[in-house]
Amino acid sequence: MSKARIEILKLIAEGKISPEEGERLLNELDDSGGSTEAGRTVRIGEAIGQVLEEVGETVRRAVYDAIGAAHKIFDEHRAETESVAVGEGRFDMPPGARLRVQQAIRVSFGGGSKGGNVILRALGQSHVRILRGEAIEVHRNGSDYVLTWAKGNLELEVPQDLAGLEVRCMGGDLEIHDFVGPMMLDTTGGELRVLSPRAPFRFRTLGGRMRIVDLDLREGPASISTTGGDVRIEAAAGASVTIRVGALGGSIDFPPGCEPDTQGRARRRAVCVIGEGKAELKVDTLGGDVHIRHAPAAP
């Protein structure tokens, strides 16, 4: 078996190119009949090189995102922050404040930290209520509040009028219900589920699936990136968003009226316009499928 054929099969096995793309490259290789004719050899080499270049850039971007998220998880609070008292499982937050939730990494004689699942629900209240969670600390720096926890699952009720919500977790699933403000969500090794996002957001997962239900974006930019997980997006009937998808190693399943954009050698692309398409949502996946659905308008 030739080295070129082995390299193509290796790319398929590692999920770096799709089986269809691999088959096309193998067919092109077969068409050459094993010839060493310069023209054929150059075209095959260029095809494989272009695939490797595209795959390499996507992998590098995913790794940099993961490293950046991990560094921020370790940044619990700084010297200029002040401690916030948590009484009866709650603490107050003024309107317009921002909340960051992240796992603390601590090691003790009783064992190290082990994060779990995170569930946040947005309600019409002026305080954060802690329903579940262990080893919780809260610090404040101006209008920014940082909540850290080190053990087990975390479940919170948060105000709907926060200016922003940022959550970073490792090893568990992350679930957000009915928060209508801007969000930045990062997970490592877990699934991400978000119900009814309305404002610009940035969602990233490493090794987990993602499901966005009742997406109702109508203005501003948003982004989704995953490594190794599928993405499911269910847009609300009144949404106004242009969804641009790039999938490396996965398929794109979109509703009627959405057409493929351009076909790269390893990456599939599609554009889906929902409503007037005023908001912009960029979806970038490595090794996962993308499914987009749009709820029909009420009669």
- Which residue, of 48, 74, 100, is where some domain finishes? 74
Residue 51 lies in a domain: yes
Give the range of the structural domain holding residue 247, as residue numbers without chain letter.
Answer: 191-299
Considering the domain boundaries, does residue 183 fall inside one?
Answer: no
272 with 203, same domain?
yes
Report the 10 Å Cβ neighbour count for 221.
Answer: 12
Q: Which residues pair with 269 in a beta bridge?
A: 246
Judgement on whether residues 203 and 292 belong to the same structural domain of the protein:
yes
Write down which residue in 174, 209, 230 finishes a domain: 174
* Coil vs helix vs strand at 2: coil
Which residue has tokens 């975390």?
154
Same domain, 67 and 102: no
User: Is the same domain home to 196 and 170?
Assistant: no
Say yes or no: 69 and 81 in one domain.
no
Q: Do residues 298 and 213 both lie within one domain?
A: yes
Residue 186 domain-assigned (yes or no)? no
Q: Could you give the 3-state DSSP secondary structure of residue 132? A: strand
3-state SS string over 40-109? HHHHHHHHHHHHHHHHHHHHHHHHHHHHHHHHHHHCCCCCCCEECCCECCEEECCCCCEEEEEECCCEEC
Q: Are 188 and 124 in contact (CB under 8 A)?
A: no
The CA-atom distances, in angstroms, between 220 and each of 38, 146, 248 are 50, 26, 25
Closest by CA position to 290, among listed 235, 261, 252, 263? 252
pLDDT in tens, 155-192: 999 999 899 999 988 778 999 999 999 999 988 878 99
Among 23, 47, 74, residue at a domain's last position: 74
In the numeric block, which tokens belong to residue 121? 């629900």
* DSSP-derived 3-state class of residue 24: helix
Using an 8 Å Cβ cutoff, are 226 and 204 in contact?
A: yes
Whether 259 and 270 have beta carbons less than 8 Å apart is answered as: yes
> CB burial class (10 A; 0-12, 13-18, 19+) of residue 285?
buried
Burial of 90 (0-12, 13-18, 19+ CB in 10 A): middle
- CA 140/CA 282 separation, integer angstroms: 32
pLDDT digits (tens, 9 = 90+) for 213-271: 999 999 999 999 988 789 999 999 899 999 999 887 788 888 876 666 655 555 678 88
- Considering the domain architecture, whether residues 21 and 83 belong to the same structural domain is answered as no
Q: In the chain, how many domains are there?
A: 3
Q: Do residues 167 and 270 both lie within one domain?
A: no
CB under 8 Å to 270, separation ≥6 — which residues?
Answer: 244, 245, 252, 254, 258, 259, 260, 261, 290
Do 202 and 235 have their domain in common? yes
- 284-294 pLDDT, tens per residue? 888 789 999 98
pLDDT at 134 over 50: yes
Tell me: pLDDT of 88 over 70: yes
Give the model confidence (pLDDT) of 18-71 as tens digits: 656 666 676 666 655 544 444 444 444 555 555 555 555 555 555 455 545 444
